Amino acid sequence: MTEGLTERPIRFVHRGAIVEVAGLPATTTVLAWLREHAGRTGTKEGCNEGDCGACTVMVGDLDDGGTVRWRTVNACLQFLPTLDGRALRTVEDLPADHPAPRAMVEHHGSQCGFCTPGFVVSLAALHANRPDPPSRRELADALAGNLCRCTGYRPILDAGEAMYALPAPAVNDDDATVAALQTLRADPPLAYRAPDPATGADSRFLAPRSLDALADAAATHPQATVLAGSTDIGLWANKQFRPLPLLISVGAVPGFKAITETEGVLHIGAGAALEDAWAALVAHLPPMRDYALRFASPPVRHAGTMGGNLANGSPIGDSAPVLMALDARIVLRHGGAERTLPLDGFYTGYMKNLRQPGELLWRIEVPLPGPATRLRAYKLSKRFDCDISALACGLAVTLDGERVTAARVAFGGMAATVARARAAEAALTGQPWTEATLEAACSALGSDYTPMTDLRGSAGYRVRSARALLRRFWLETRPDAPLAPSATQVWEVPA
């Protein structure tokens, strides 16, 4: 027994049938289970850290309408117990007449073939979720988490376009999957325990299903690792071999993922997938679209959460600069007690923040800016897609006519934490939004940060680039002849 919960095996749906797994450590990845225990080696291991997409699989959840919503994730990052109550679909589970593999064959989308299962799964997920043919650009976005070292992307994109002209598969196992998922709904919340040969101790996994049970579990076990999307924690297990004896998963609590809007404030549950949280932000703030698309890749955004992105305290996390520019607040919960803090001030040092042991990041509250506020977010990284930022920023000015009445400038990658540029903000506030004011703010920016040199960029590059991004912001938002998005964006976005 664990906290009144009866321990039981992990149960999920694969190929239309319920699979039960017991006896494996809770940190066994879906990829390791597929390849080493289920004999399903079609799903490949490339990097084992979420970067290459060779391991891409689909995970299905039953929605309220009784249909399965399939989303891609990296099997190398997901621990097997996170499949509990859900469905798994891999490249080997697609019918032979599925349009995605057929189009890849017909358009020569594969050479060595190592990346191919991942591409096929990403294409099949797109095909399942998007009935009408996507544009070439949308295809490229959907494949941003898949790397190919030999074929080149043109034939793969051709295959993605061509699959929409092929007939749908004759047989579809979704009905069996729905029935099995409905059966699993009667299971009690997962409490799982198995010996871990690597540590000689038990490895445990708790997945409460209600908000109160989640808060209680975290407060009762302050030493536990809170597991959200596992896009950071998966690497702790795979690359750092860190022992993780007790995982408390937030993933089975629907209310923890909720996104709502009341009175001009967007409330984002900390467990909301990055994909959903950014979609909600972009719906209100269209200029954020390019930035949101460059956050990791679809499989990482489907699993990773906005709460995890803020809780990890990374100085190069992409959510914090934008949320700080928007003056977001975070709600923390410990047991039954909630407290609300401004995100600005939450970080106290490199990977450190004000969260106490046993306390959960509960919700993010984002005041939506009015029409007088101009907002942009920019990211610089060595690769356009699926790359960690060298530099990222959220920039906001509120204008009264041509005068800046308020300015919020936040950068990641410039200091040990994501931080605001107070001197630059002071140089902007109360001034006309002119080039002279911009120059003063750029000059002040030099005293706001003392960035370091690392593999993503030198200190000098970072300072020069931060100033250039501030200039770009002015060019796009100046009252007189602002540049059209097409002049400054890779993909044009609505104004």
Ligand X SMILES: Cc1cc2nc3c(=O)[nH]c(=O)nc-3n(C[C@H](O)[C@H](O)[C@H](O)COP(=O)(O)OP(=O)(O)OC[C@H]3O[C@@H](n4cnc5c(N)ncnc54)[C@H](O)[C@@H]3O)c2cc1C
CB 303 within 8 A of CB 297: no
Stretch that binds ligand X, among 48-56, 118-126, 174-182, 427-435 (CB under 6 A): 48-56
In this complex, which beta carbon is closest to ligand X, that of residue 49 or of residue 216?
Answer: 49
Under the binding rule (CB under 6 A), the answer on residue 395 touching ligand FES is no
Closest approach, Cβ 236 to ligand FES, in A, equals: 15
CA distance 228 to 308: 6
What x-and-dash track marks residues 102-121 binding ligand FES by CB under 6 A?
--------xxxxxxx-----
Among 57, 91, 296, 322, binds ligand X (CB under 6 A): 296
Strand partners, 420: 410
Stretch that binds ligand X, among 164-172, 275-283, 309-317, 481-489 (CB under 6 A): 309-317
In this complex, which beta carbon is closest to ligand FES, that of residue 35 or of residue 355?
Answer: 35
- Which of ligand X, ligand FES, none does residue 250 bind to, with CB < 5 to 8 Å depending on kind? ligand X
Q: Could you give the C-alpha distances from 47 to 52, 73, 114, 303, 360, in angstroms and in order?
A: 6, 14, 12, 17, 31
- 30-59 positions binding ligand FES, by CB under 6 A: 45-48, 50-55
Closest approach, Cβ 345 to ligand FES, in A, equals: 35
CA distance 361 to 311: 7
In this complex, which beta carbon is closest to ligand X, that of residue 274 or of residue 441?
Answer: 274
- Which of ligand X, ligand FES, none does residue 28 bind to, with CB < 5 to 8 Å depending on kind? none
Under the binding rule (CB under 6 A), the answer on residue 150 touching ligand FES is yes
- Which of ligand FES, ligand X, none does residue 227 bind to, with CB < 5 to 8 Å depending on kind? ligand X
Under the binding rule (CB under 6 A), the answer on residue 230 touching ligand X is yes
Stretch that binds ligand X, among 47-55, 79-87, 238-246, 450-458 (CB under 6 A): 47-55
- 464-483 positions binding ligand X, by CB under 6 A: none
What x-and-dash track marks residues 179-218 binding ligand X by CB under 6 A?
----------------------------------------
- Which of ligand FES, ligand X, none does residue 110 bind to, with CB < 5 to 8 Å depending on kind? ligand FES
Under the binding rule (CB under 6 A), the answer on residue 298 touching ligand X is no
Under the binding rule (CB under 6 A), the answer on residue 270 touching ligand FES is no
- Which of ligand X, ligand FES, none does residue 111 bind to, with CB < 5 to 8 Å depending on kind? ligand FES
Closest approach, Cβ 49 to ligand X, in A, equals: 6
Number of residues that bind ligand FES (CB under 6 A): 23
Q: Quick one: three-class SS letters along the chain?
A: CECCECCCCEEEEECCEEEEECCCCCCCEHHHHHHHHCCCCCCCCCCCCCCCCCCEEEEEEECCCCCEEEEEEECCCCEHHHHCCCEEECHHHCCCCCHHHHHHHHCCCCCCCCCHHHHHHHHHHHHHHCCCCCCHHHHHHHCCCCCCCCCCHHHHHHHHHHHHHCCCCCCCCHHHHHHHHHHHCCCCCEEEEEEECCCCEEEEEEECCCHHHHHHHHHHCCCCEEECCCCCHHHHHHCCCCCCCEEEECCCCHHHHCEEEECCEEEEECCCEHHHHHHHHHHHCHHHHHHHHCCCCHHHHHHCEHHHHHHCCCCCCCHHHHHHHCCCEEEEEECCEEEEEECCCCEEECCEECCCCCCEEEEEEEECCCCCEEEEEEEECCCCCCCCCCEEEEEEEEEECCEEEEEEEEEECCCCCCEECHHHHHHHCCCECCHHHHHHHHHHHHHHCCCCCECCECHHHHHHHHHHHHHHHHHHHCCCCCCCHHHHCCCCCCC
Under the binding rule (CB under 6 A), the answer on residue 290 touching ligand FES is no
- 357-386 positions binding ligand X, by CB under 6 A: 360-361, 386
CB 218 within 8 A of CB 359: yes
Among 28, 72, 74, 203, binds ligand FES (CB under 6 A): 74
Closest approach, Cβ 252 to ligand X, in A, equals: 13
Under the binding rule (CB under 6 A), the answer on residue 270 touching ligand X is yes
List of residues contacting ligand FES (CB under 6 A): 45-48, 50-55, 74, 76, 110-116, 148-151
Residues that bind ligand X (CB under 6 A): 49-51, 225-233, 250, 270, 274, 295-296, 300, 304-305, 307-309, 311-312, 317-318, 360-361, 386, 388
